[in-house]
Structure 1
Amino acid sequence: MKAMVCTQYGSPDVLMLKEVDAPVPKENEVLVKIYASTVTAGDIRVRTFNSPLLLWLPMRIVLGLRKPRKPVLGVELAGEIMTVGPKVTRFKKGDQIFALTGMNFGGHAEYTCLPEGALMAIKPSNVSYEEAASVLFGATTALYFLRKGHIQKGQKVLIYGASGAVGTYAVQLAKYFGTEVTGVCSTANLEMVKSLGADKVIDYMEEDFTNRGDYYDIIFDAVGKISKSSCKKALTPNGSYVTVDGQGIAKVRVEDLDYLGELMEKREIRSVIDRFYLLKELAEAHRYVEKGHKKGNVVIKITS
């Protein structure tokens, strides 16, 4: 099978399309033919080995000393189950699924094996593989941190970084939960964020939201670029500040994927896809994501 292999740490040029052996599922695994994946910030961090100095050695031990131990990156995927192991009962051959692989990666290949208990769920029939693949990381992260902030109907919620992979879902989920949503983004993305349901939008390039005299029950920094201290004067007395930077990694359950699948099926949330690339164009996709200006998600079409 074809796979894009990260041959060492470095620039996008280290990504090479290779012919590798197709995986064989164990008795508790399923073999998935991958139709779509994405490029996330996590893929960029691993490929570049972007690690603080104090964590350099521990991270190298975890990820691989000279090159990634899991050389096929890609943490989100959607595809079709081709084979099931004899002990698998949750899925069957022909099921269309979407899955979040986390540190096991593997999305940038034509096939992968996943254990039955993986973060994997049935893809809604009215949602494309590309849409399903791009909902996983962003929406589960948004859901986790909004819940961490104890989101409730009637609150006022501000999403900082509302046009990114996490922010686009945070806007939609916050609106679905019945809150008044303010999205903060750049000039170019104001209309797109409005189209996702934001009641108000603020251009961070023109205005500091903390100086408007408005107060929020939740401020969610979806890009990790503002501090709690800078937000204090815009929070209500019992308001919550949550951020993707420094408050841990989102804890995701299979139930969360089922829940998001239902919302996608009902069109309560939708994927925002900036660009599509073919598997052989993965290095180019990395270069684009690395610039930090993508709107929503960048999707990799694995199998047409």
Structure 2
Amino acid sequence: MKALVAQSYGPLEDLVVTEMPKPVPGPGQILVRTEASAVNAADAVLVTGVMKDVLPVQHPFTPGVDISGIVEAVGEGVTRFVVGDPVLAWLGLPSGALAEYVLVEDAPSVAIRPVGLDAAHAAALATGGLTASSLVNAAKVTEGETVLVIGAAGGVGSYVVQLAKQAGATVLATGRAEDAAYLKRLAADEVLDYKSVNIPEETRRRVPGGVDVVIDVAHVSPDLAEAAVAVKSGGRVIYVLGGPPPALDRGVSATYAGAEAPEGRLGELAAQAADGRLRVEVSANYPFASARQALVDFTTQHVRGKITVTF
């Protein structure tokens, strides 16, 4: 089979499409024939080795944590899936989805792809949707609250906006001026152009006293406490990256959250995407032969929603 492979740590430009052995599912595994994958920030981090002391990988290494495809074979003990089932999955780390065939553990992080959700949009849902759901749940967003989403136009933020709105919140979303109409379509109540205003100050101007919750997907400031300026006393700040939460004043709490796949969550997100309750934005799609370019463009361009790769 063909796979996108890094032979060692290095720039994304060194990735190559090459032949690799076709895997065989073991107990509790399914083999998926890939129809689509999606590009994530983790792919670049793992390929380049920026965080190799924390997240080392073995080479040759195939990136990609999101997959949508067809079950090709099932291992011993697998009863939820049969050959021919359309599925979507979040692989977690290490990854491997940018290959023609991928081993997937039979776990809550894999679900049947419903009718009405095509392969590319299913792949674009897995990591982003699961991460956003975890962030909104960690924030304990309730009806009537105000939520500021920092990094709202991207592959996680776009889902955070929608899920926070589903929870009954008034949503302020940050983006570029050209993202305003898109963010409004996602159900943002107000859009803040981070290129032209100071986000905490502008938030305070629009919501005197501060918002109830900030969900910071972007971490655009090296000072993680800066986002807390936009929150009212006793409010909450949720960050998407790991690490020790910053010490905040005024009774503001800080929490980290990331992608999690409790039982049934991925299937529910897929059902919402299939029937239109959850919008999945695919800003660009690349053929597998151009998968390396997809990763390069993801890291060098302003991406709205997700970039996908189809096989």
Q: TM-score, normalised by structure 1?
A: 0.91
1:32-181 equivalences in 2 (<5 Å): 32-51=32-51, 57=53, 59=55, 62-64=56-58, 68=59, 71-117=61-107, 119-181=109-171
Q: Quick check: 35-44 or 201-210, which moved more? A: 201-210
CA separation of 1:17/1:237 partners in 2, compared to 1, >3 Å: closer, same or farther? same
Deviation at 1:39, TM superposition (A): 1.3
Contact 1:131 1:270 in 2 (8 A): no
Q: Distance in 2 between matches of 1:173 and 1:118?
A: 20
Gaps of 5+ in 1: none
Q: Do residues 186 (structure 1) and 176 (structure 2) align? A: yes
Q: Do residues 11 (structure 1) and 6 (structure 2) align? A: no
Q: Distance in 2 between matches of 1:261 and 1:191?
A: 24
Deviation at 1:263, TM superposition (A): 1.6
1:215-254 equivalences in 2 (<5 Å): 215-226=210-221, 227-246=223-242, 247=256, 249-254=258-263
Q: Quick check: 216-225 or 34-43, which moved more? A: 216-225
Contact 1:120 1:254 in 2 (8 A): no
CA separation of 1:57/1:261 partners in 2, compared to 1, >3 Å: closer, same or farther? closer
Corresponding residue SS for 2:148: strand
- One-letter amino acid of the structure 2 residue matched with residue 197 of structure 1: A
Aligned-pair identity in percent equals: 28
Q: RMSD value over aligned CA atoms?
A: 1.7
Q: Which residue of 2 aligns with 1:22?
A: 22
Count of aligned pairs between the two proteins: 292
Corresponding residue SS for 1:164: coil
- One-letter amino acid of the structure 1 residue matched with residue 192 of structure 2: I
1:281-296 equivalences in 2 (<5 Å): 281-296=290-305
Gaps of 5+ in 2: 243-255
Q: Distance in 2 between matches of 1:32 and 1:297?
A: 21
CA separation of 1:27/1:164 partners in 2, compared to 1, >3 Å: closer, same or farther? same
Deviation at 1:10, TM superposition (A): 1.2
Contact 2:39 2:298 in 1 (8 A): yes
Q: Which residue of 2 aligns with 1:261?
A: 270
- One-letter amino acid of the structure 1 residue matched with residue 287 of structure 2: L
Q: Which residue of 2 aligns with 1:278?
A: 287
Contact 1:124 1:264 in 2 (8 A): no
Corresponding residue SS for 2:184: helix
Q: Distance in 1 between matches of 2:16 and 2:227?
A: 43
Q: Distance in 1 between matches of 2:145 and 2:277?
A: 19
Deviation at 1:241, TM superposition (A): 0.7
Deviation at 1:85, TM superposition (A): 2.2
Q: Which residue of 2 aligns with 1:298?
A: 307
- One-letter amino acid of the structure 1 residue matched with residue 128 of structure 2: G
Corresponding residue SS for 1:94: coil
Contact 1:121 1:254 in 2 (8 A): no
- One-letter amino acid of the structure 2 residue matched with residue 37 of structure 1: S
Deviation at 1:219, TM superposition (A): 0.7
